[in-house]
Amino acid sequence: MILNKEVRRRFTLFLFFQDLQKGNDLRFALSGEGFDCFNFMDYDTLLDRLKESMPHVLIFSPEALMGGLSQFVDQVLAINPEIVFIPIAPTEQTKGLLAYRDFNFAQIVNEGAHLAERLLWACDQVASELYLI
């Protein structure tokens, strides 16, 4: 299902990156396609905002995490057990991230060329599945 901007507006995406420029670039690209997006650099601020609002998708870079990935996933799912994760990671981390599929990890988007377009595709897929539910 290809989503239009009207449908995308119904979905909130949180982005969590250590690299402010990358996070802002991705937020701008996804917002331009209609998604409601918020970018965070601070771990505690992200957790506080997760408690205040219920985003549908959390896009993050594992390098932005203060502790381990398991701790991060546990904390987020304790706040919102329905949130869907999309990590942005180097290809080398793909195998390790596969272990998290059962914890609402929808896709892994690898670093590289056309990142914004590939992330849009992944977000559309997640939003389509949620929209049909």
User: What does the DSSP 8-state code read for residue 103?
Assistant: G
pLDDT computed for residue 98 by the predictor: 92
Q: Which string of DSSP letters, residue by residue, matches 48-63?
A: HHHHHS--SEEEE-GG
pTM value is: 0.94
Q: How confident is the model at residue 2 (pLDDT cuts 50, 70, 90)?
A: low
* pLDDT tens, position by position, 11-54: 999 999 999 999 999 999 999 999 999 999 999 999 999 999 99
* pLDDT tens, position by position, 58-107: 999 998 887 789 999 999 999 999 999 999 999 999 999 999 999 999 99
